[in-house]
Structure 1
């Protein structure tokens, strides 16, 4: 079996909107209050720092599933496949901070004594992401810093907004790096359900190429069918089958865009054993056939999960 998808090293069609944005400006910070617009798993250049102010949901990053609620901050390294989910589709207020790798390299130059750079302090060892549970005072400080960044970037957009925001960026990064090295505060540990769902997600990501059935999940995990279905939908807003189909289609897109493999082999490597079923699902999800998608994306760069 190939290396588990979702980890660094496998190709994935890039989030071109974010990549273009970071190519134009190395720092972007925005308060978003509209419903989630990104409906698919995706990966992009640069670091992403995702701070939730209001709402509940889940954040899938690689093979990790993180709970989202007011006071959580999630850090994603470049090229890690991810997607946030809103549990109920209601208010979902979040700050999204994007930092280009070149900008982070500039910050690393100021910290030559940090092996692996400041980014290595923000994410868990051997993982492309990390998740923080902040206390109310800590989140208030983080929200203030993110607000300062957004205002500085907007006010100084024509000149050097990135430099104006640097103090707030550095303070937030140092705050998160410090939290990463500390034990979690009381009440910040993941619940039993969240740990179980994280294990289920990791299993799905590791075995997506196989002919998975609910029975195989129930053999692996001590949980009833109804409880598993209910918890997964409650935390992610989608069913297990919807998530697995979406993940497989994104994997197929990556192979179509980044390789010259025949469509039959793309389908098999993506977990589809029935070619006609693959064509039908792919067209429904992507809006065109696999060959049309390959033609449309020919020459575009792909990134790693």
Structure 2
């Protein structure tokens, strides 16, 4: 598959406001502007009130519609896409891991660990479809949480804690429910996505996908683009770049080993793609990341998610 102009970003905007205060909640109505797969510290909870789309999270593709609730775990790549919906209303609630760790410390007798309970369902994300009653309750909680965070009235942190406790009690009541609803096209796009991720370390050709899945080449391109908001080539390059950046920062693997591990093939191809998208060679990227104790290619402005 040939290269396309793509990139991957660490969401530094989210990281900064979570570092300043560990809880953030915002109601958004503006169209989505986030075009890149990205990741950040802390959990992101995404509640859709109106509109339709999909949410690409890690190795999963979730449908978005009124009543869908998605929880993205820390440092998991993701990107929402609202398709052709003219109006897309949602709450975006972010919470730092340290806040949940402190709650775990407080709940000594029950040994309550919210991250552990969330991870028991899936290590990267959780997705639910709320009933009308549940949606109304969670929407009210998020409205109260947003107001408490903006108003900063006396005792607001207790109000924040109350809303968070009530929210996770609702979530844990949902854990046993099978609430994900997919259309036929979303099922097929999800299967293609899972195949790409499961085989990203291998050389992949469009012909392989057409042979494996019951769809023509043109239908496959159109379906994937309309369902995920990205092309197959763009997704595969973004995904491999993300894996490469993580390995460069979090492991001692040689650059050649990183290239082989993420499926870029020969070293010259890896260097070409990596420098084209980051402005740095893989070695320079690793050096700069450790020198600054941060990860380059930040999103310095708040993209609408």
| Shift in alpha-carbon separation, 1:143–1:290, aligned structure 2, 3 A | same
Residue segments in structure 1 that go unaligned for 5+ positions in a row? 1-11
Match in the other structure for 1:138:
134
1:103-142 to 2 correspondences below 5 Å = 103-109=99-105, 117-122=113-118, 125-142=121-138
The answer to whether the 8 Å contact 1:111/1:118 transfers is no
TM-score (norm: length of structure 2): 0.81
Report SS of the residue matched to 2:49: strand
Match in the other structure for 1:9:
none
Deviation at 1:195, TM superposition (A): 2.5
- Residue deviations 1:35-73 (CA, integer Å, cap 9, x gap): 334433233332221112233322122211111122211
The answer to whether the 8 Å contact 1:75/1:123 transfers is no
Deviation at 1:114, TM superposition (A): 6.0
Q: RMSD over aligned Cα, in angstroms?
A: 2.9
Deviation at 1:191, TM superposition (A): 2.7
- Residue deviations 1:211-268 (CA, integer Å, cap 9, x gap): 0011222333333323322221111111111111111122222233334544444333
Residue segments in structure 2 that go unaligned for 5+ positions in a row? 1-7, 296-305
Match in the other structure for 1:250:
242
- Residue deviations 1:184-227 (CA, integer Å, cap 9, x gap): 4xxx6323332332222121112111100112223333333233
Report SS of the residue matched to 2:113: coil
- Residue deviations 1:16-41 (CA, integer Å, cap 9, x gap): 43233222212111123333344332
Report SS of the residue matched to 1:182: coil
TM-score (norm: length of structure 1): 0.81
Deviates more, 1:146-155 or 1:217-226: 217-226
Report SS of the residue matched to 2:38: coil
1:39-118 to 2 correspondences below 5 Å = 39-88=35-84, 90-109=86-105, 117-118=113-114
Deviation at 1:271, TM superposition (A): 1.8
Report SS of the residue matched to 1:298: helix
| Shift in alpha-carbon separation, 1:292–1:105, aligned structure 2, 3 A | closer
Match in the other structure for 1:153:
149
The answer to whether the 8 Å contact 2:9/2:36 transfers is no
Match in the other structure for 1:164:
159
Deviates more, 1:130-139 or 1:275-284: 275-284
